[in-house]
Amino acid sequence: MTQPNVQSSLSRGAIADDELLKDFPGFKNNYSTVNGVTLHWVEGGEGMPLICLPGWPQTWYSYRPIALELAKAYRVFIVDIRGMGSSEKPASGYDKKTMADDILALVQELGFDKVHIMGHDIGGMVAMSFAFNYPAFTEKLIVLDGSHPGEGMLHMPLIPAAGSFGAKMDGNMPYAWWMGFNQVKGLPEQLLEGRFQFLLDWLFSYVMIDDRKMSAFERAVYAAAYNDADSIRASNGWYQSFGQDIEDAKSYQQLKMPVLGVGSYISYNYMKMGLPALADNLKLVEIADSGHYLYEEQTEKVLEAVISFLAD
């Protein structure tokens, strides 16, 4: 597919996808306009299609640690979701049902009637929405460190519990202040434009056990991708749509396809409490020696969990 004019969707100073693709031998860049939005995606490998969705504040490049191994057995598609990276950043459509519609339209354009789908963080929310809304298209679902927004979010603390807010996130009483900060319209762009590196470095340090596993180059890729007002505004839209996501979830039926939930020390206990009510055929894996960014911190354990689940 030919590349459209996506310059308006690129952050100033962002590293070109073609340059980043050199770390993905055998993969190629693609762009598709589906469901009224232009999405950037990369593809490599052969076999059953596996749709991979990244989270905040990363891009398709976050699958670098695991993509080549997955591509040995699957046809891997890594998608910059609506508002991310080189994908279009429209004014609206950041509820997870609309974003799932984006992915369905892409799947249909590619000619598939059944796919595996996996997602991390925000990408996991979109992957779950896809499975809820389009179970006939979903062979297996994998979510890592997160799940679809639910009413439990409404009880997240505004103020951290005494002694729980230190240099590293407390897995028993996690304090994710950015969930509220990203709800604010207009102000984050003013504060963070040209300074996103500061938030990014702090976040990686806070939610990773060993943030040295997030390289300086990776940090530069993601900081550049989110360093302009338009990219900050669009990514915050994923958070500002949680209210609609929670309402949508009230009508969803329990998932019947095989579901794998992979959690870090931060999220596993919450996934263990929440996912069994949402998925009838569920496998849970805890990676307790990893923080939120599992692909980078515990690559081999992620691959072991994902590959064995897909092959079963």
Tens-digit pLDDT profile for residues 86-108: 999 999 999 999 999 999 999 99
Mean pLDDT over residues 210-237, rounded? Answer: 98
Which distant-in-sequence residues (6+ apart) come within 8 Å of 208 by Cβ? Answer: 214, 290, 291, 292, 293, 296, 297
Q: Give the closest residue to 57 by CA, choosing from 32, 35, 88, 80.
A: 80
Which stretches of the chain are DSSP H helices? 17-20, 64-70, 96-110, 122-133, 178-181, 187-192, 196-207, 216-225, 229-240, 242-249, 268-274, 294-297, 299-311
**What topology is assigned to 7-311 in CATH?**
Rossmann fold (3.40.50)
Predicted confidence at residue 301, as pLDDT, reads: 98
Q: What percent of the chain has pLDDT over 70?
A: 96
14 — pLDDT class (breaks 50, 70, 90):
confident
146 — pLDDT class (breaks 50, 70, 90):
confident
**116/74 Cα distance (integer angstroms):** 9
SS3 259: strand
Distances (CA, A) of 240 to 117, 236, 301: 24, 6, 33
- Give me 214's structure tokens: 């997030």
Mean pLDDT over residues 78-92, rounded? Answer: 98
164-185: per-residue pLDDT in tens? 999 999 999 999 999 999 999 9
Predicted confidence at residue 1, as pLDDT, reads: 46
Q: What percent of the chain has pLDDT over 90?
A: 95
- AA letter at 121: D
**64/279 Cα distance (integer angstroms):** 29
Predicted confidence at residue 172, as pLDDT, reads: 94
Predicted confidence at residue 8, as pLDDT, reads: 52
- 287, pLDDT greater than 70: yes
